[in-house]
Structure 1
């Protein structure tokens, strides 16, 4: 038997705000309700299940492998929001794009302080 990640719950203060942020940034379809959660489906079959929780929200890291055109679009949306981004998860290299492995990657925070990463090469 093989194991595959099917879904994970993302704790947030406001599931609508957090799910909308992710779908807008990555150009994904709107989140769909499922019980008390809002579900964002990714192309590889994994879902991110946004669930309201009381603060404090422990920061997690979520990384998204995307194509070059999708990176361009997501990065343009990030810049349009005038939101900080970094080339590293330690947030030491502000306003830089990491070119590790011949691709591009940046890190930025979602509304609950989760560290999101978009990158084009593994």
Structure 2
């Protein structure tokens, strides 16, 4: 068996709000609630399992970075959803290129925050570009 990434838990201020935000931006469908989790599945079968984290939990909510490789059409749709919501986005992780798109490796990319403070990234070309064919 080859090793595959299967799922991760996304700590959230509100699991429903954060799962629905991701689903709306990415054009995905929120899965059924299972125990304390609400799952969101992406095309390769990986699930992001959103869990509400109590504010008094030691260490609290630690925002994390999640990057998504998307097609040009998926980028356009997500970008439209980001604009519809009036979200601020950046061309770089240092938040210097506010409301700008980067064109790294010949593609397009942006960074933005979800309701729990997680840093989401959309890119149309992987870092380093596509391998030569």
The interval holding the TM-score normalised by the smaller chain is over 0.9
TM-score normalised to structure 2 length: 0.88
Please state if 1:101 is matched with 2:108: no
CA shift, 1:42, in A, is 0.6
Residues 23 and 31, structure 1, Cα contact 8 Å, conserved in 2: no
Q: Which residue of 1 aligns with 2:29?
A: 29
Q: Which residue of 1 aligns with 2:119?
A: 115
Please state if 1:68 is matched with 2:47: no
Number of aligned residue pairs: give it.
122
Structure possessing the higher radius of gyration over alpha carbons: 2
CA shift, 1:2, in A, is 2.8
Residues 30 and 38, structure 2, Cα contact 8 Å, conserved in 1: no
TM-score normalised to structure 1 length: 0.95
Name the Cα RMSD after superposition: 1.0
- SS of structure 1 residue aligned to 2:120: strand
Structure 1 runs (4+) greater than 6 angstroms displaced: none
Unaligned runs of 5+ in 1: none
Q: Which residue of 2 aligns with 1:12?
A: 12
Unaligned runs of 5+ in 2: 127-133
